[in-house]
Amino acid sequence: MPANLPPEYFKAEERYLQAKTVEEKILATQELIRIAPKHKGTEKLLKVLKRRLAKLRLELRKQQTRRVGGGPSFHVKKEGAAQVALVGMPNSGKSMLLRRLTSAQPEVAEYPFTTREPVPGMMEFEDVQIQLVEVPALIEGSNRGRGLGAQPLSVARNADAIALIVDASSDPLEQMEILLAELEKAGIKLNQRPPKLSIQRQATGGIEVRGIRMFKGERSELKRILQEQRIHNAVVIIEEPITAEELEDVLDESSVYRRAITIANKGDMAGEGDGFEKLQQAYGGRFPTILVSAANGDNLAKLKELIFESLNVVRVYTKRPDEEPARRPLVLPKSSTVLDAAEAIHKEFARDLKFARVWGSTRFAGQQVPRDYVLRDKDIVEIHI
Ligand SMILES: Nc1nc2c(ncn2[C@@H]2O[C@H](COP(=O)(O)OP(=O)(O)OP(=O)(O)O)[C@@H](O)[C@H]2O)c(=O)[nH]1
Ligand SMILES: [Mg+2]
């Protein structure tokens, strides 16, 4: 069967051939996979592309480990409780914000692309440290190598959460649309969650599927997708409706799911009708949005709080019986249990855990709780082994 590839496909292929870095090759290959029509005639092609993508990812991982401690790199080593990428178009004020929120001192200037490499800085929020990284500017077409190329996107992809920065004084809605389109093309999904699905690999027994009714496609297609990922023996549990495409996305890791907020900067210059309201209306439901000014400091305390909230974590102070609680909290994903906290300290702690006492979210101070007790922000937990 002929593949009937659309003209965009050949353009993307050209970009792949021109790509100089592994990151750019990855993005181009992802785009090829997205563009290629999905039918019998393109099955082989898709297989080749996916294999190429897997190889490129491996290469990138190797490069990144090699680069640690080496020369200049786009990969920013994570420090602190989490890494948040500041992503925006040129001149939106990313550097000025970073200077305000951390002790980093990137150059601030009125010409575009002042920042050409990612700049990390540590933000203190109460008793946690959150790493912010200014990502070099995105523009329409970054994904295809325009502007500073696709490397900024790979930095964003690597962060734990994303802050979208727009200039509130010049059509923030349009900037937002461009940013979202670029991130989407790079497979970065914001404030969405991956479909609920679990795959338990087995040594033998072929493929067993539970919840097949929720797969919106042919059974043979499901098999093909699993085989392409070299999954031959597994129990697949589908817990909510999923299409073939979504399944492919989840499996080939081309999609990452990140939490995100919107920071509308230059609030000092934004007048009525400059578009902040429209931005709120269009995207406020999907992204917590805040109007700030890096120049005069407006709303920055609130912003720090919003950044912390965007991480969806809790702080937990562990203690031993008859001792004071730790000064620095453990930072754990929301809905972590006592057992998760014990595990974060040490594997053995988790293994030997008998019970815990909690101060904070419990009805009584120091109440005894079981190991599956869900901890809340600022709980103190005393582990008994
Ligand atoms: N009025 C006003 N100007 C700002 C604010 N934040 C930044 N600027 C100005 O906007 C320009 C760009 O600021 P930068 O912080 O360099 O912007 P950037 O997003 O880092 O730019 P690139 O690194 O080039 O992508 C500078 O002239 C800043 O003085 C703000 O809150 N209010
Ligand atoms: Mg900058």
> In terms of domains, do 120 and 268 share one?
yes
Mean pLDDT of 150-156: 88
What pLDDT was estimated at residue 105?
A: 95
> Distance between CA 90 and CA 120 in Å, rounded?
17
> In terms of domains, do 99 and 169 share one?
yes
**Structural domains counted in the chain:** 4
What pLDDT was estimated at residue 303?
A: 98
Q: How many angstroms separate the alpha carbon of residue 45 from the centre of ligand 1?
A: 45
Question: Is 2 contained in some domain?
Answer: no
> In terms of domains, do 263 and 116 share one?
yes
pLDDT greater than 50 at residue 333:
yes
Nearest to 198 by CA among 232, 231, 237, 250: 237
Q: Is the CB of 94 under 6 A from ligand 1?
A: yes
> In terms of domains, do 122 and 261 share one?
yes
- Write out the two tokens for 122: 């540590």
Kindly indicate the confidence band of residue 71, based on its pLDDT and cuts at 50, 70 and 90. very low
Q: Is the CB of 175 under 6 A from ligand 1?
A: no
Q: Which one of 295, 310, 325 terminates a domain?
A: 310
Question: Is 27 contained in some domain?
Answer: yes
Question: Is 274 contained in some domain?
Answer: yes
Question: Is 75 contained in some domain?
Answer: no
Give the amino acid at 184.
E
What pLDDT was estimated at residue 70?
A: 40
Q: How many angstroms separate the alpha carbon of residue 41 from the centre of ligand 1?
A: 50
Nearest to 242 by CA among 310, 288, 194, 278: 194
The pTM of the full predicted model, rounded to 2 decimals, is: 0.80
> In terms of domains, do 177 and 269 share one?
yes
Closest ligand to residue 88's CA: 1
Q: Is the CB of 108 under 6 A from ligand 1?
A: yes
Q: How many angstroms separate the alpha carbon of residue 146 from the centre of ligand 1?
A: 21
**Which of 91, 182, 265, 276 is the best mutation target for the ligand 1 pocket, counting ligand atoms within 8 Å of the beta carbon and taking the most?**
91
Closest ligand to residue 166's CA: 1
Question: Between these two residues, 135 and 72, which has the higher pLDDT value?
Answer: 135
Each residue of 154-213: pLDDT tens digit?
899 999 999 999 999 999 999 999 999 999 888 899 998 888 888 888 889 988 999 999
CA-nearest residue for atom 8, ligand 1, is 93
> Distance between CA 41 and CA 9 in Å, rounded?
15
Mean pLDDT of 18-25: 84
> In terms of domains, do 301 and 284 share one?
yes
What pLDDT was estimated at residue 114?
A: 95
What pLDDT was estimated at residue 145?
A: 79
Domain hosting 237: range is 197-251
Q: Are 129 and 135 in contact (CB under 8 A)?
A: no
Question: Is 147 contained in some domain?
Answer: yes
Beta strands in the chain (DSSP E): 83-88, 119-125, 128-134, 161-167, 188-190, 197-201, 207-210, 215-216, 234-238, 242-243, 256-265, 289-291, 313-319, 330-333, 355-359, 367-369, 379-384
> In terms of domains, do 27 and 169 share one?
no
Mean pLDDT of 232-250: 88
Nearest to 124 by CA among 132, 112, 133, 114: 132
Question: Is 353 contained in some domain?
Answer: yes
What pLDDT was estimated at residue 1?
A: 53
Kindly indicate the confidence band of residue 65, based on its pLDDT and cuts at 50, 70 and 90. low
- Write out the two tokens for 288: 């917590």
Residue 362 backbone phi and psi in degrees, to 5: -85, 165
CATH of the domain at 350: 3.10.20.30
Nearest to 90 by CA among 54, 137, 124, 155: 137
Q: Which residues of 98-110 are buried (b: 16+ CB within 10 A; e: fewer)?
A: bbbbbebebebee
Q: How many angstroms separate the alpha carbon of residue 95 from the centre of ligand 1?
A: 7
3-state class percentages of the chain: helix first, strand second, coil last, to nearest 5: 35, 25, 40
Report percent pLDDT > 70 for the chain: 95
Strand-by-strand arrangement of the 330-333 sheet: 330-333, 313-319, 379-384, 355-359, 367-369
Mean pLDDT of 291-313: 97
Question: Is 87 contained in some domain?
Answer: yes
Each residue of 31-52: pLDDT tens digit?
899 889 888 888 889 888 988 8
Alpha helices in 137-191 (DSSP H): 151-158, 172-185
> In terms of domains, do 153 and 276 share one?
yes
> In terms of domains, do 165 and 260 share one?
yes
Each residue of 92-121: pLDDT tens digit?
999 999 999 999 999 999 999 999 999 999
Q: Which one of 289, 310, 331 terminates a domain?
A: 310
**Which secondary-structure segment (H or E) carries 57?**
helix 43-67
Mean pLDDT of 371-378: 96
Lowest mean pLDDT among 73-82, 280-289, 335-344: 73-82
Nearest to 14 by CA among 142, 144, 138, 141: 144
pLDDT greater than 90 at residue 265:
yes
> In terms of domains, do 173 and 293 share one?
yes
Q: Is the CB of 187 under 6 A from ligand 1?
A: no
Q: Is the CB of 294 under 6 A from ligand 1?
A: yes
Task: Name residues whose C-beta falls within 8 Å of residue 300's C-beta, 6 or more positions apart in sequence.
Answer: 100, 101, 292, 294
Kindly indicate the confidence band of residue 54, based on its pLDDT and cuts at 50, 70 and 90. confident
> In terms of domains, do 324 and 306 share one?
no
CATH of the domain at 155: 3.40.50.300
Q: Which one of 226, 251, 276 terminates a domain?
A: 251
User: What protein residues have CB closer than 5 angstroms to ion ligand 2?
Assistant: 94-95, 114-115
What pLDDT was estimated at residue 64?
A: 60
Question: Is 74 contained in some domain?
Answer: no
What pLDDT was estimated at residue 95?
A: 98
Mean pLDDT of 57-77: 63
What pLDDT was estimated at residue 39?
A: 86
Report percent pLDDT > 90 for the chain: 58
**What sign does the CA torsion over 215, 220, 224, 230 have?**
positive
Q: What is the mean pLDDT of the chain?
A: 90
Kindly indicate the confidence band of residue 146, based on its pLDDT and cuts at 50, 70 and 90. confident
What pLDDT was estimated at residue 68?
A: 43
pLDDT greater than 60 at residue 381:
yes
Question: Between these two residues, 63 and 188, which has the higher pLDDT value?
Answer: 188
Nearest to 290 by CA among 274, 306, 278, 275: 306
> In terms of domains, do 219 and 107 share one?
no
